[in-house]
Amino acid sequence: MMQIADILLDWYGENGRHGLPWRQTRDSYRLWLAEIMLQQTQVESVKPYYQRFLDVLPNWEALAVAPQDQVLALWSGLGYYARARNAQRAAQKIMTDFAGEFPDTPESAESLPGVGRSTAAAVLASAFAQQRPILDANARRVLIRTQAISSDPKASKTLQHLWKLAEALTPADAHTYNQAIQDFGAMICLPRHPHCDACPLQRHCLAYAGGLSEQLPLPTRKPEKPDRCVFFLQLEDRSGRIFLEKRPDSGIWGGLWCLPQFNPEGSSNPFLCNDQQKALADGILLRERVRQFCVLRHGLTVEVKALTMVQKHVFTHFQLHFRCILATVQDDQIVPGVADQILTGRWFTRENALAEGLPTPVRKILSQTS
């Protein structure tokens, strides 16, 4: 097993991604931030967000005390926004419970919101030179193929076995080795069509010997993504300001600013999609229900101006089809006596709106309708 580690370290010395910005530091905050951003996100997508985030929030204290809106705005477009909220909670816990320093034990590190075993190990190995193995998707794939593990890669017993393998394989210089196996999985031992012809582990890879490189790891059956639909309302006042509502912290787009969502059937679930909704899309009935919605929800009378074409945004578990209803409201058109007419959001100039944390579909709409 240690021969595999030596080969990976030699390969990394010549071929590794040494220029990645988080590879230039041993600072726990910067290392941790990179690990959080890289969860379920490609390296190239993370690079610009990483540096921009550090420019504004360079340390634990800055992140801990920052307004949540600022944190989400810096994260906007990177997705999986629970990571951003958990990151701020982790920084706050570090300031209050750990005297502003990343904890140096696995148990304490894993007590931080959003930090699991592999993330904790990656930071401890790099920031504190501890011999801690990681088991991210890249490392897991390399181990599964070299050992020809044909069980469900997400099963508890399989993961326990993989952790034992990772512990046995990781040398004293875990900092360098963890980077090596990550890069090897990302550059050679790819999820699909691995570069076995260029792989220095050929002689040590049981999957390659058995002709199983393309079959392993066993694929996880992914259910078909359901379709959901939503109408967004872009309400503008006479000065061109746009009305946005803040999403609840939990659920989709938690804590982000969003255009109001409208379901023409009156359901509390704006992601309802059925034939009746589609039939309403261009009709008079839709316009009338928009007007009713704005009066009842916000105490505003509006004039519907236009309806955009259908667009699609793909989430992990579903596909969202969305259209935007463009409507204008006059400042003096507040409807008196409406019980819930207190606006649940704020008016923004378009420039200020685009500087906030916005869901990708909303950012796309505001950019297209300018």
Where in the sequence numbering do the catalytic residues fall? 35
Cα pseudo-dihedral 59, 356, 346, 324, rounded to 10: -150
Report CA torsion sign: 280, 301, 244, 365.
Answer: positive
**Tokens standing for 208?**
């390659």
Q: How far apart are CA 60 and CA 99, in angstroms?
A: 10
Q: What 3-state class would DSSP assign to 40?
A: coil
Specify the amino acid at residue 23: R
Question: Whose structure tokens read 């463009």?
Answer: 326
Distance CA 244, CA 276 (A): 27
d(C-alpha 187, C-alpha 210), whole Å: 22
| Count of CB atoms situated within 10 Å of the CB of 244 | 24
What is the full DSSP assignment across 322-368? EEEEEEEEEEEEEPTT-TT-S-SEEEE-HHHHHTS---HHHHHHHHH
d(CA 180, CA 26): 16
The crossing angle, in degrees rounded to 10, of helices 156-169 and 2-15 is: 70
Q: Of 52, 24, 19, 25, which Cα lies nearest the Cα of 37?
A: 52
Contact indicator for 64, 94 with CB cutoff of 8 Å: yes
Q: Which residue has the tokens 């007590």?
A: 111
DSSP 105: S
